[in-house]
Amino acid sequence: MIVKPLDRIPLLYHTRVREYDPEAVTRISAREEPPETAGLRKSDVDAIWSSVVTYYKRGLNPAMQLCIRRGGHVILDRSIGHRVGNAPTDPPDAEPEIATPDTLFNFFSGSKAITAMLVHLLHEQGLIHIDEPVATFIPEFGRHRKHRITVKDVLSHHAGIPAAPTESINLDYLADSDRLLEAICDLRPVHRPGMHPAYHALTGGFIFGEIIKRVTGADIRAYITKYVREPLGFQHLNYGVAPEDLGKVAMNAFTGPEPVWPAHDLLMRALGKPMRELVDISNDPRFLTGIVPAGNIIATANEVSRFFEILLNMGTLDGVQIFKARTVASAVRPVVRGKIDRMLFLPVPYSAGFMLSGKHIGFYGPHTPEAYGHLGFTNVLGWADPERDLSACFMTSGKPFITAELLVWMNVMRTIAVRIPRDMRSAA
């Protein structure tokens, strides 16, 4: 057995998946176009994919997908690993099924970006105003001093109700929208609305789902289907999947070291469950077929990249206008920069719905000051970078929490940012 250097440190002992030859478990979509169509070289795409393979070799992910569009061209659309059968808990004689670029993944908290755009669409349609109190649309939400919390406060994680109520992570209650709503309305703010950023892992999504239901008369699935999925022909990209599609979804696996303090406490504060239990919940058919607006958009990396392409083009794709340009501009405009998030203990810049990049470095690689997107549990990412005319999504089914390999994951986005030059649009 080969001992990897990082494994010599006891804290970093990992739960890993079995290793396979990367080439044998890589699949390339027929949707890929020659990199030259987007002003790139084959060596650029090769370098980006090599960074993904390097991360795969660390043994933390049963499967991964990466899709990148540049200038509207799909320059990379690939998968590596297995949809099912190679989790650390699988028996040695399990028969793994190779993932493909059409395998479905859970976008987890990346779903917040898509849900946020639906809320902004309500604003565009004149059904709500994001500066109005949530209680305007859900009167019972106003109790316990929450009457001044605005829709925008919730979008930007400033509402002061970051901790998820236990009902929101109980699968027995997932289909009971009245019980969930009552639990959300019964929350008490931990600080004055609008004062401090504190990541709302689940609460905001259920609030937005209820607002959509009350002002349109339809649930969030029907709303996204009518205004996004059907106009652009998305095959999946929805909250959960139909029961008959469960066999198309990549199964998640807990990997890496067991979270200890303070990481364990952070998880318990934000989500109320330990890491292994959260991963088990994510694979449960009730979660996969339910509606969790803050955390269960299920799609391919290609579809999520295509959604961000809509935003990159200021609301229009393939000649179809989904959002007005001013709606997109409002959604990605910074609300807060330079403040420490009180749940994540990181300086996360937020807009009204998106995690923004820093001036020099951020989730989306170095020198991506205009990029916006969203991170999902624990290392999935979707984003757009206007300076590079780029929309991308990186899906993973391994669920480590905090590991030294985080640097290897970050290197994927670093390589993308380095290999794809800025200012493509201005040059055009």
What fold characterizes domain 5-103+238-257+296-427?
Answer: Beta-lactamase (3.40.710)
Rounded to whole angstroms, the Cα distance separating 27 from 30 reads 10
pLDDT tens-digit readout, 4-57: 444 444 344 569 999 999 999 999 999 999 999 999 999 999 999 999 999 999
In the numeric block, the tokens 């970078």 are attached to 385
- Residue 311's closest CA among 128, 130, 126, 117? 117
pLDDT at 342 over 50: yes
Both ends of the chain: CA-CA distance in Å? 52
- Residue 29's closest CA among 18, 45, 41, 51? 45
Instruction: Give the per-residue pLDDT at 72.
Output: 98
Instruction: Give the per-residue pLDDT at 426.
Output: 45
- What's the chain's Rg over C-alpha atoms? 20
Alpha helices in 137-284 (DSSP H): 151-155, 177-185, 203-216, 220-224, 230-232, 263-271, 275-283
Q: Are 110 and 382 in contact (CB under 8 A)?
A: yes
Beta-carbon neighbour count of residue 122 at 10 Å?
A: 21
- Lowest-confidence pick of 258-267, 279-288, 402-411: 258-267
Q: What is the DSSP string of 380-393?
A: EEEEEEGGGTEEEE
Looking at the chain, the whole-number percentage of residues with pLDDT higher than 70 is 96
Q: Are 414 and 368 in contact (CB under 8 A)?
A: no
- Residue 99's closest CA among 76, 77, 80? 80
Instruction: Give the per-residue pLDDT at 424.
Output: 61
Question: Does residue 345 or residue 20 have the better pLDDT?
Answer: 20
Q: Report residue 261 as tokens.
A: 């303090």
CA–CA distance from 189 to each of 137, 178, 270, 311 (Å)?
19, 21, 14, 32
Confidence of residue 1 (pLDDT cuts 50, 70, 90): very low
Q: What are phi and psi of 177, to 5 degrees?
A: -65, -35
Q: Are 260 and 268 in contact (CB under 8 A)?
A: no
Work out the average pLDDT over 304-324.
99
Instruction: Give the per-residue pLDDT at 3.
Output: 39
pLDDT at 169 over 90: no
Rounded to whole angstroms, the Cα distance separating 46 from 420 reads 12
Question: Does residue 166 or residue 122 have the better pLDDT?
Answer: 122
> Can you give the pTM of this predicted structure?
0.95
Crossing angle of the two packed helices 203-216 and 177-185, in degrees rounded to 10: 120
Work out the average pLDDT over 406-418.
98
Beta-carbon neighbour count of residue 202 at 10 Å?
A: 24
- Residue 163's closest CA among 239, 267, 262? 267
DSSP code for 279: H
Looking at the chain, the whole-number percentage of residues with pLDDT higher than 90 is 84
Residues in the chain: 428
- Residue 51's closest CA among 71, 80, 83? 80
Instruction: Give the per-residue pLDDT at 425.
Output: 58
Q: Are 293 and 111 in contact (CB under 8 A)?
A: yes
- Helix-strand-coil split of the chain, %, nearest 5: 40, 15, 45
Work out the average pLDDT over 284-303.
98
pLDDT tens-digit readout, 319-339: 999 999 999 999 999 998 889
- Residue 381's closest CA among 409, 346, 351? 409
Evaluate the omega torsion of the peptide bond into residue 378 and state whether it is cis, within 30 degrees of 0.
Answer: yes
* Element housing 408 (H / E): helix 406-419
Strand order in the sheet with 105-106: 105-106, 297-299, 238-239
